[in-house]
Amino acid sequence: MEASIFAFLAKLVNIVFLDLILAGDNAIVIGLAARNLPSSTQKKAIFYGTGGAVLLRIAATIIVVWLLKIPWLLLVGGILLIGIAYKLLADNDDHTDVKAGRTLWGAVRTIIVADAAMGLDNVIAVAGAAQQNIILVVLGLLISVPIVVWGSTLFIKLIDRFPWIIYLGSAVLGYTASNMITEEKRLHSFFEEHPSVRIVFIVIVIVAILGAGYLKKRSDSRKKNNENSYNHIK
C-alpha cells in the first residue's frame, strides 16, 4: 500500500516538474497577451484566460491518454516527445508575434488560443508521464498551472540563474519518451525479455537529446558571438 502511494506521488511530482519546465513559454504568452490592459483588469484576464486554458488542456490531455491506448500511438507519442525534449534545449523563440489584447475578453481569448497552440508539448508529456492515469493528469495540472501563473516570473529567473534545470527537464522528458516507446504493446514483450536492452535504449535516448541540444546551443552561441564581433568592427 505504502509503495503504491509513493509511486503515485513520484509520478505526480514528475508531472508537475514537467509542466513547470515546459510552461515558461506559456507564462510569457500570458504576460504578453495582458500587457496593454489596466493593472486592475490584467489580473482578471490572467485568471479567466488561465482557467479556460487549464480546462482545455485537461480535456486535451485526457483525450491523448485515451488515444495512447491505440496500437503504435505510444511509439508515435514517444518520438514526438523526443523532439520536444530537444526543442526545449535548442529553441530560442521570443514570442514577439503574440498580440496583446486591448479588452478583457480579447486578452482572455488570446491567452486560451495561444496556450492551446503551444500546449501540445505539455499535453504529450503529461499524458506519457501519467501512464494512462486520469487522476494524475487532473491533479498534476491543477497543482502546476497556478504555480505557472503566479510564480512564472520567479521560475523563469530561476531557470536563467541555474541553466542546468533545463537540461534536467530535457533528461526527464527523454526518460518519459523512451519509457513510452518501451511500453508500446507491440514492443513491450521484447523489452520485458531484454531488460538490459531497455536500460541501454533509455540511456542512449537521454544522452542523444542532451548532446544534440548542447551542440545546438553552442553553435548558436558561436554564431551570435561572430555576429556581435562583426557588428562591432563595422
CA distance 100 to 216: 31
Domain range annotation of the chain: 2-233
Measured distance CA(22)–CA(178) in Å, rounded:
18
Backbone angles phi, psi at 126, to 5 degrees: -65, -45
Report CA dihedral (68, 73, 78, 81) to the nearest 10 degrees. Answer: -80
Model confidence, pTM: 0.73
Q: What is the CA radius of gyration of the chain?
A: 19
Task: Write out pLDDT tens, residues 107-121.
Answer: 777 777 766 666 667
CB neighbour list of residue 111: distance below 8 Å, 6 or more residues apart: 29, 30, 33, 34, 45, 46, 49, 50, 52, 53, 101
For residue 61, count CB atoms less than 10 angstroms from its CB and return exposed for 0-12, middle for 13-18, buried for 19 or more.
Answer: buried
Q: How confident is the model at residue 28 (pLDDT cuts 50, 70, 90)?
A: low
pLDDT tens digit string along 37-63?
A: 777 777 777 777 777 877 887 888 888
Cβ atoms 165, 21 nearer than 8 A: yes
